[in-house]
């Protein structure tokens, strides 16, 4: 008995501020002009992708007390650029990463509900958390939140916004010109929320949007993050795009769903993945090598090591051996505002492991970073990439991928033209959109139907 | 100095978009489309109409609570339009569909973050390629404060009591700080900060990015922005004022102030007050527009306009009242009135259509041609940016010289 083929979900991540983007490539265009975002979004929609994804960073990264200057710096406001993209696309989902620490539920709920109305039901929210005082220095609230409370605030933040979305049911607006009744219910939008982090009440002023609520994504890999996603998210933006790691993560998270009364298909797992695509596998391997060397200059390699060493390593030769001094394990970190800082939880062990790897392979600092860093997940001809992506999804390493091209804004064009048709031929990727909303693309029920289902069941 | 009637200088025209129009019964008119107010298509059609009329810009009203006929509280009425979308997002949704017209959403600054708003309006400037603005608004409503739960706003009992004046002054001072932080963030990147220097591997010249280090009574912001300096350098900042305290905000921080004079003497007096405050603020060399706000019922003959107003008042159950002067009449009569106000020192007007579906096309297809016949309004868009349309230069970056 063969099981039915899973349908693949594909999304496009407009590369933000890390060294994915090869900005020095002559093909690279603007990373900030709207025309770049429009080109990227239209390509994704032409390829029938589920959605476009934007990451977030609310303070410019620093290293050694100075603004980091080696990668792309600067990006637009998430809500605003997604609203504009709704004007140049018809079907593509619009997913924005919005921080639950440096925002307030009422305002974020207004913005997402507005985006959902203005896009005809295509909005999604990647809920992230933050606690650091560094980012907080840009906000009224400041860096007020103890790290251990960040998920508790995030959970309550999300719950509160869901209460606001649900404060309108969708049938309140009558707008009967003859009788003069606009609203059926003067109390539409009423809410009261009393909790540890938020104590708010009043009336929400955005009526129910086409999707009822935006689709909810979660990113974050900790134990709390996985539980948060299993309990509350529609999809996870994960970082395990390899077969084995992907399967382990997939199994772990999907198995957590049952305790929240949820089915396997109510949470999609979508890792970020990069790719190197060329006419032949050999050409793609060569392209991948070139891209990696462009992404990791000598200076970038040293900066990358500084995340672990927590020291100024600028005097080292990136083409030479790894530093023989030990990482500084004090809390005061040399690098601020980067997610990677938290990836290396045991710097001493990481340094030891890297030294061993470098010695065994005769790698320089730069070689090490090139070989241990984010290599392209999919390398090959269109046939190879289509086959590999499909194999991973059918083997439950994920439900699909969020592709991050290394060139802005044309980096998806070849994938759309050459890989997508192959997936369509295999019958594992849509040739037409299933419906107008992102929930249709992702196969997620409308929250009102879920509510009705639960009402019937109880 | 004062323009003669034979050679009037051009005036500027904006239109204020709110729901189905400014009359509370406007949604009951046949052209009102009350069921479409939450759709992108509705706003796209309105802004396209305004652009057809070569207007300088549209403003889009907003608020952090339900609309209300009371000044300070929700009214729980069911016979008027309730519910609205975020104005910055409406403006952004419309931006790619238009080419020339300025887009000026309202933003409430009392409960929001200057860092977020700064990058949102900068992004609106990117997506509109230089046509973004901002209308700054405060809120003294206790119910809206309760939506955020971060501060309580004491109820204003008597407007002229010292406590009320103190509260209002504090909210406007905070607004001035807010705009200052927003403006510094727009300048926190120099225009040529992105260098893409392959030789040194540097994407930006970090010496051209600046911490703004804003410290105020209510908040502090470190900076720099995460969004590069927008196309206009400084998008347009606008504010509405009815008394000295907000006039001071206009004089200190705005590019366009909206005022609500009911006659030309009042207009002259308010303009004089704003100009004096502008001098006190050290900005007398900067172009600061003072626009008059007017609610308009426009028809081809005056009786029709008056009858329409009566009909709407009957539907609403009470005569329409406004902070602004309410004009009821023909395009030609309105053109006369605007000319008189212009001679009293106003440089433009923000018209509030009583019924958007009726009075907006009456502005673009009736008033505009009338003004053009008189040589008082443009016959084609003469600039690509909103600042350009208003005769405002692209400002130098405040941090560039200090580097």
pLDDT digits 0-9 by tens, A224-273: 889 989 998 999 998 898 999 999 999 999 999 999 999 999 999 999 99
pLDDT higher than threshold 80 for residue A145: no
Give A282 or A346, the one with higher predicted confidence.
Answer: A282
How far off is chain A from B229, nearest CA to CA, in Å?
10
How far off is chain B from A271, nearest CA to CA, in Å?
26
| Residues in A touching B27 (Cβ below 8 Å) | 175, 177, 182
Q: Determine contact: A407 vs chain B, CB below 8 A.
A: no
Q: Determine contact: A42 vs chain B, CB below 8 A.
A: no
User: In this predicted structure, what is the pLDDT of residue B1?
Assistant: 37
Q: Kindly state the tokens that stand for A105.
A: 């539920």
How far off is chain A from B364, nearest CA to CA, in Å?
24
- Band of pLDDT at residue B3, cut at 50, 70 and 90: very low
Average pLDDT (B78-107) is 98
| Residues in B touching A117 (Cβ below 8 Å) | 38-40, 85
For tokens 């896009």, what's the residue? Answer: A119
| Residues in B touching A113 (Cβ below 8 Å) | 85
User: In this predicted structure, what is the pLDDT of residue A144?
Assistant: 73
User: In this predicted structure, what is the pLDDT of residue A341?
Assistant: 56
The per-residue DSSP string of B134-197 comes to: EEEE----HHHHHHH-S---PPP-STTSHHHHHHHHHHHHHHHHHHHHHHHHHHSB-TT-EEEE
Residue A329: CB atoms within 10 A of its CB come to 10
Contact B85/A80, CB-based, under 8 Å? no
Contact B126/A76, CB-based, under 8 Å? yes
Chain B CA closest to residue A25: B198
- Band of pLDDT at residue A457, cut at 50, 70 and 90: low
Average pLDDT (A177-194) is 97
Most A CBs within 10 A among B19, B65, B85, B225, hence the mutation to make, goes to: B85
Asked if A200 and B93 touch (Cβ cutoff 8 Å), the reply is no
User: In this predicted structure, what is the pLDDT of residue B5?
Assistant: 40
pLDDT higher than threshold 80 for residue A64: yes
Which helix H or strand E contains A6, and what residues bound it? none
Contact B148/A200, CB-based, under 8 Å? yes
ipTM of the prediction? 0.97
Chain B CA closest to residue A296: B201
pLDDT higher than threshold 60 for residue B388: yes
How far off is chain B from A171, nearest CA to CA, in Å?
12
Most B CBs within 10 A among A18, A58, A76, hence the mutation to make, goes to: A76
Vertex A260: Cα angle to A259 and A263 (nearest 5): 90
pLDDT higher than threshold 60 for residue B235: yes
Give residues with Cβ within 8 angstroms of B201, minimum separation 6: A24, A70, A297, A298, A299, A300
Average pLDDT (A125-151) is 85
Contact B93/A200, CB-based, under 8 Å? no
Mean pLDDT (chain A) is 93
| Residues in B touching A181 (Cβ below 8 Å) | 78-79
- Band of pLDDT at residue A452, cut at 50, 70 and 90: low
Contact A83/B122, CB-based, under 8 Å? no
Cα Rg of chain B, angstroms = 21
| Residues in A touching B203 (Cβ below 8 Å) | 23, 69-73
- Band of pLDDT at residue A340, cut at 50, 70 and 90: low
Chain B CA closest to residue A57: B226
Asked if B96 and A38 touch (Cβ cutoff 8 Å), the reply is yes
Q: Determine contact: A198 vs chain B, CB below 8 A.
A: yes
User: In this predicted structure, what is the pLDDT of residue B403?
Assistant: 46
pLDDT tens-digit profile of A94-128? 999 999 989 999 999 999 999 999 999 999 999 98
How far off is chain A from B26, nearest CA to CA, in Å?
10
| Residues in A touching B119 (Cβ below 8 Å) | 76-77, 80
Average pLDDT (A288-300) is 94
Contact B66/A186, CB-based, under 8 Å? no
- Band of pLDDT at residue B2, cut at 50, 70 and 90: very low
Task: List the 115-144 stretch of A: residues with Cβ below 8 A of B.
Answer: 115, 117-120, 137-140, 142
How far off is chain A from B53, nearest CA to CA, in Å?
22
- Per-residue DSSP letter, A322: P
User: In this predicted structure, what is the pLDDT of residue B118?
Assistant: 98
- Band of pLDDT at residue A339, cut at 50, 70 and 90: low
Give residues with Cβ within 8 angstroms of A211, minimum separation 6: A116, A121, A122, A123, A437, A438, A439, A446, A447
pLDDT tens-digit profile of A302-317? 999 998 999 999 999 9
| Residues in B touching A297 (Cβ below 8 Å) | 201
Contact A202/B146, CB-based, under 8 Å? yes
Q: Determine contact: A180 vs chain B, CB below 8 A.
A: yes
- Widest pairwise Cα distance in chain A: 83
Contact A104/B94, CB-based, under 8 Å? no
SS3 category, B284: coil
User: In this predicted structure, what is the pLDDT of residue A138?
Assistant: 96
Asked if B229 and B190 touch (Cβ cutoff 8 Å), the reply is yes
Q: Considering only CA atoms, which of A379, A372, A363, A368 is closest in space to residue A290?
A: A379
Average pLDDT (A126-137) is 88
> Which residues sit opposite A12 in a β-bridge?
A52, A403
> Which residues sit opposite B352 in a β-bridge?
B295
Contact B80/A182, CB-based, under 8 Å? yes
Q: Determine contact: A38 vs chain B, CB below 8 A.
A: yes
Asked if A369 and A305 touch (Cβ cutoff 8 Å), the reply is yes
Contact A80/B120, CB-based, under 8 Å? yes
Q: What is the number of residues in chain A?
A: 458
Nearest Cβ partner of B204 from A69, A205, A207?
A69
Contact A207/B83, CB-based, under 8 Å? yes
pLDDT higher than threshold 70 for residue B7: no
Average pLDDT (A291-295) is 94
Nearest Cβ partner of B66 from A66, A142, A189?
A189
Q: What is the interface size between A and B, counted as CB pairs within 8 Å?
A: 226
Task: List the 267-326 stretch of A: residues with Cβ below 8 A of B.
Answer: 297-300
CA B354, CA B361: separation in Å to the nearest integer? 12
Q: What is the number of residues in chain B?
A: 403
Contact B83/A103, CB-based, under 8 Å? no
Contact B86/A67, CB-based, under 8 Å? no
Q: Kindly state the tokens that stand for A155.
A: 């959970």
| Residues in B touching A299 (Cβ below 8 Å) | 201
Q: Determine contact: A253 vs chain B, CB below 8 A.
A: no
- Band of pLDDT at residue B8, cut at 50, 70 and 90: low
How far off is chain B from A144, nearest CA to CA, in Å?
13
Mean pLDDT (chain B) is 95
* pLDDT > 90 fraction of chain A, expressed in percent and rounded: 81
Evaluated on CA atoms B139, A126, A411, A90, the torsion sign reads negative
Asked if A350 and A308 touch (Cβ cutoff 8 Å), the reply is yes
Contact A74/B204, CB-based, under 8 Å? yes
Contact B209/A67, CB-based, under 8 Å? yes
Q: Kindly state the tokens that stand for B58.
A: 């549209």
How far off is chain B from A175, nearest CA to CA, in Å?
6
B228, with CB counted inside 10 A (0-12, 13-18, 19+), is buried
CA B262, CA B151: separation in Å to the nearest integer? 36
Q: Determine contact: A65 vs chain B, CB below 8 A.
A: no
User: In this predicted structure, what is the pLDDT of residue B6?
Assistant: 41
Asked if A100 and A127 touch (Cβ cutoff 8 Å), the reply is yes
User: In this predicted structure, what is the pLDDT of residue A336?
Assistant: 87
pLDDT higher than threshold 90 for residue A131: no
Q: Determine contact: A200 vs chain B, CB below 8 A.
A: yes
How far off is chain B from A56, nearest CA to CA, in Å?
10
CA dihedral B103, B109, B113, B118 (to 10 degrees): 30
> Which residues sit opposite B292 in a β-bridge?
B259, B349
Indicate yes or no: pTM above 0.95: yes
Distance of CA A226 to the CA centre of its chain: 15
pLDDT higher than threshold 70 for residue A193: yes
Contact A86/B127, CB-based, under 8 Å? no
């Amino acid at each position: 008995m063969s099981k039915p083929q899973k349908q693949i979900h594909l999304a496009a991540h407009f590369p933000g501020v890390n060294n994915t983007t090869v900005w020095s490539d002559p093909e690279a265009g603007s990373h900030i002009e709207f025309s770049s975002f429009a080109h990227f979004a239209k390509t994704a929609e032409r390829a029938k992708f589920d959605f476009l994804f934007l990451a977030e960073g609310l303070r410019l990264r620093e290293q050694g007390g100075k603004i980091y200057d080696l990668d792309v710096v600067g990006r637009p406001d998430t809500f605003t650029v997604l609203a504009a993209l709704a004007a140049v696309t018809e079907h593509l989902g619009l997913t924005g990463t919005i921080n639950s620490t440096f925002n307030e539920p009422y305002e974020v709920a207004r913005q997402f509900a507005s985006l959902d109305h203005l896009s005809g039901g295509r909005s999604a929210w990647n809920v992230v958390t933050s606690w650091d005082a560094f980012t907080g220095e840009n906000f009224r609230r400041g860096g007020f939140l103890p790290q251990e409370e960040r998920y508790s605030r995030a959970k309550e933040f999300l719950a509160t916004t869901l209460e606001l979305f649900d404060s309108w049911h969708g049938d309140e607006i009558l707008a009967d010109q003859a009788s003069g009744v606009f609203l059926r219910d003067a109390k539409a939008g009423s809410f009261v929320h009393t909790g540890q982090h938020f104590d708010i009440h009043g009336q929400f002023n955005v009526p129910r949007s086409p999707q009822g609520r935006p689709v909810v994504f979660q990113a974050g890999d900790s134990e709390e993050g996985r539980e948060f996603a299993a309990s509350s998210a529609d999809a996870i933006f994960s970082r395990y795009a390899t077969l084995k790691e992907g399967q382990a993560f997939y199994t772990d998270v999907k198995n957590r769903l049952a305790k929240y009364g949820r089915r396997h298909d109510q949470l999609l797992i979508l890792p970020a993945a990069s790719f190197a695509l060329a006419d032949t596998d050999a050409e793609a391997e060569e392209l991948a090598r070139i891209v990696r060397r462009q992404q990791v200059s000598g200076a970038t390699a040293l900066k990358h090591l500084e995340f672990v060493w927590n020291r100024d390593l600028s005097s080292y030769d990136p083409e030479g051996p790894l530093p023989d001094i030990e990482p500084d394990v004090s809390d005061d970190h040399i690098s601020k505002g980067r997610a990677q800082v938290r990836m290396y939880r045991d710097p001493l062990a990481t340094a030891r492991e890297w030294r061993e790897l470098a010695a065994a392979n005769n790698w320089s600092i730069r070689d090490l970073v090139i070989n241990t860093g984010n290599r392209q997940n999919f390398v090959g001809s269109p046939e190879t990439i289509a086959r590999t992506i499909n194999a991973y999804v059918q083997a439950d390493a994920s439900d699909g991928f969020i592709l991050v091209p290394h060139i802005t804004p044309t980096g998806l064009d070849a994938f759309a033209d050459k890989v997508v048709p192959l997936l369509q031929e295999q019958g594992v990727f849509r040739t037409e959109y299933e419906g107008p909303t992102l929930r249709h693309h992702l196969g997620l029920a409308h929250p009102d139907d879920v509510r009705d289902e639960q009402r019937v069941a109880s | 100095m004062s323009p003669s009637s034979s050679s009037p200088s051009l005036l500027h025209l904006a239109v204020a978009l709110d729901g189905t129009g400014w009359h509370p019964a406007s949604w009951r008119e046949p052209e009102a489309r009350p069921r479409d107010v939450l759709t992108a298509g509705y706003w796209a059609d309105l802004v396209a109409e305004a652009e057809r009329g070569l207007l300088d810009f549209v403003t889009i009203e907003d608020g952090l609570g339900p609309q209300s006929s009371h000044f300070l509280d929700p009214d729980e009425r069911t016979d008027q339009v309730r519910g609205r979308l975020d104005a910055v997002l409406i403006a952004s949704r419309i931006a790619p569909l238009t080419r020339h017209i300025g887009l000026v959403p309202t933003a409430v600054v009392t409960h929001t973050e200057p860092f977020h708003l700064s990058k949102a309006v900068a992004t609106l400037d990117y997506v509109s390629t230089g046509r973004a603005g901002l209308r700054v608004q405060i809120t003294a409503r206790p119910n809206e404060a309760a939506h955020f739960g971060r501060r309580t706003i004491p109820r204003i009992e008597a407007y002229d009591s010292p406590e009320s004046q103190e509260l209002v002054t504090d909210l406007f001072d905070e607004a001035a700080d807010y705009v200052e932080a927003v403006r510094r963030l727009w300048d926190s990147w120099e225009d040529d900060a992105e260098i893409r220097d392959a030789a040194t591997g540097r994407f930006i010249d970090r010496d051209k990015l600046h911490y703004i280090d804003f410290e105020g009574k209510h908040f502090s912001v470190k900076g720099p922005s995460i969004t590069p300096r927008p196309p206009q350098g400084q998008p347009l900042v606008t504010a509405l004022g009815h008394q000295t305290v907000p006039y001071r905000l206009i004089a200190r921080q705005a590019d366009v102030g909206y005022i609500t004079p009911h006659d030309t003497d009042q207009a002259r007096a308010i303009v004089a007050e704003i100009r004096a405050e502008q001098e006190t603020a050290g900005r007398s060399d900067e172009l600061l527009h003072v626009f008059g706000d007017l609610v308009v019922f426009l028809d081809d003959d005056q009786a029709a306009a008056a009858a329409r107003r009566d009909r709407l008042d009957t539907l609403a159950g009470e005569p329409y009242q406004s902070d602004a002067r309410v004009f009821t009449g023909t395009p030609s009569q309105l053109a006369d009135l605007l000319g008189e106000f212009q001679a009293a020192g106003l440089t433009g007007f923000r018209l509030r259509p009583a019924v958007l579906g009726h009075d907006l096309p009456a502005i673009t297809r009736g008033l505009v041609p009338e003004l053009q016949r008189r040589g008082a309004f443009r016959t084609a868009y003469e600039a690509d940016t909103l600042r350009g349309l208003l005769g405002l230069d692209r400002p130098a970056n405040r941090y560039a010289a200090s580097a």
